[in-house]
């Protein structure tokens, strides 16, 4: 089994990503790194601890990471984000605090240690700001280069934005961090918003979780219904909520779920398009392509894997 690290701003779809990972026998979730975005760092760490316990996996350690963007002093949750994930990040559903505490080692050192130990067998999936991995890169680029598989949720190649017309939330939190990762020469696969918005969940599926009659099933159903409600207000034409972060986990485990294009990427850092992910024209002819970008997804197969794995976990 491969070793998996998730790096999360634990909101609703991040929680579904945890559930997907815990329901996947191909990987061992060796730790969760904490970042900020949907919620502040402390809230995300609290949620990661509480959710793993509720889902029956109190053995998963949670490592707090950096709590603000690399180019700013602080971080505040956008009110619009709070309305999508709830103020507590998990759809205003009350679940008990975890019995265990966060680790004292920082997420950055945890990622570097795991890279040294597991190398090619390590999968790293960030689904929030990329601040932790950028800090890891700055500290030890050789170690980060040893990570076998980095699959991130963020950006988009075609129709980009959920923050504004140009930018997606995770990349917009720390554009410099994302740009540093794309230009580093480290191999990455980007699962962007244009592709994750093809994968939608409805109340029909959450009802199946609720019908399990378990605390985990009820929690996942109630939390996700909040998210579906938010999507209903913001993007009613979609008819469901986007499974952004779980798709990144799924594609990291089974890359055949997505079609990818090999293209060296960068991030706009200036002007109105700040935070936009875009192909790097100075590296178009470079025979070495370090980024792969998802351009399509097998929606029925992914949704089947998603429901099978999470339903079995919550039963
Ligand atoms: C991404 O931003 C966050 O709101 C979600 O958890 C997801 O990681 C979608 O743009
Ligand atoms: Ca996220």
Threshold 0.95, pTM exceeds? yes
Complex ipTM, two decimals? 0.98
pLDDT at residue 160 in the model: 74
CA of 286 to the centre of ligand 2 (A): 31
What ligand 1 atom has the least distance to the C-alpha of 153?
8
At 48-79, the pLDDT tens digits run 999 999 999 999 999 999 999 999 999 999 99
pLDDT at residue 159 in the model: 81
At 72-127, the pLDDT tens digits run 999 999 999 999 999 999 999 999 999 999 999 999 999 999 999 999 999 999 99
At 182-203, the pLDDT tens digits run 999 999 999 999 999 999 999 9
- SS3 (DSSP) at 277: strand
Q: Looking at ligand 1, which residue's alpha carbon is closest to its atom 8?
A: 127
Q: Residue 29 in contact with residue 58, Cβ under 8 Å?
A: no
pLDDT at residue 249 in the model: 99
At 245-259, the pLDDT tens digits run 999 999 999 999 999
What ligand 1 atom has the least distance to the C-alpha of 162?
10
At 112-156, the pLDDT tens digits run 999 999 999 999 999 999 999 999 999 999 999 999 999 999 999
User: Which protein residues touch ligand 1 with a CB less than 6 Å away?
Assistant: 11, 13-14, 37-38, 127-128, 153, 162, 168-170, 193, 244-245
Q: How far apart are CA 286 and CA 107, in angstroms?
A: 33
Q: E-assigned strands of the chain?
A: 2-8, 27-34, 62-64, 122-126, 149-153, 188-191, 200-201, 241-242, 258-262, 265-267, 277-279, 291-297
Bigger pLDDT: 159 or 267?
A: 267
CA of 287 to the centre of ligand 2 (A): 32
- Give me the residues near ligand 2 (ion), CB cutoff below 5 Å: 9, 14, 127-128, 245
Q: Within a 10 A sphere around the Cβ of 200, how many other Cβ atoms?
A: 18
């Amino acid at each position: 089994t491969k070793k998996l690290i998730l790096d999360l701003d634990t909101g609703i779809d991040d929680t579904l990503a945890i559930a997907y990972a815990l329901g996947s026998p191909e990987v061992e979730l060796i730790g969760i790194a904490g970042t900020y975005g949907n919620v502040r760092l402390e809230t995300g760490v609290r949620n990661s601890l509480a959710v793993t316990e509720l889902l029956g996996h109190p053995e998963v350690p949670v490592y707090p990471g950096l709590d603000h963007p690399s180019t700013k002093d602080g971080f505040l949750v956008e009110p619009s984000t709070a309305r999508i994930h709830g103020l507590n990040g998990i759809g205003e559903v009350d679940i008990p605090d975890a019995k265990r505490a966060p680790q004292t080692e920082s997420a950055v050192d945890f990622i570097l240690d795991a890279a040294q130990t597991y190398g090619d067998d390590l999968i790293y999936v960030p689904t929030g700001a990329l601040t932790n991995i950028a800090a890891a890169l700055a500290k030890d680029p050789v170690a980060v280069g040893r990570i076998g598989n980095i699959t991130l949720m963020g950006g988009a190649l075609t129709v980009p934005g959920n923050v504004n017309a140009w930018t997606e939330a995770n990349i917009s939190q720390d554009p410099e961090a994302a740009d540093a990762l794309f230009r580093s020469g480290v191999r990455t696969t980007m699962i962007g918003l244009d592709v994750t918005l093809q994968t939608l969940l409805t109340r029909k599926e959450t009802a199946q979780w609720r019908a399990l009659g378990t605390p985990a099933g009820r929690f996942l159903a109630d939390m996700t219904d909040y998210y579906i409600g938010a999507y209903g207000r913001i993007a009613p034409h979609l008819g469901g909520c986007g499974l952004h972060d779980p798709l990144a986990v799924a594609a990291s485990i089974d890359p055949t779920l997505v079609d990818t294009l090999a293209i060296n990427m960068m991030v706009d850092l200036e002007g109105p398009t700040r935070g936009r992910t875009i192909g790097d024209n100075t590296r178009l002819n470079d025979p070495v392509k370090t980024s792969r970008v998802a351009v399509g997804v097998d929606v029925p197969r992914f949704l089947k894997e998603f429901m099978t794995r999470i339903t079995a976990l919550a039963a």
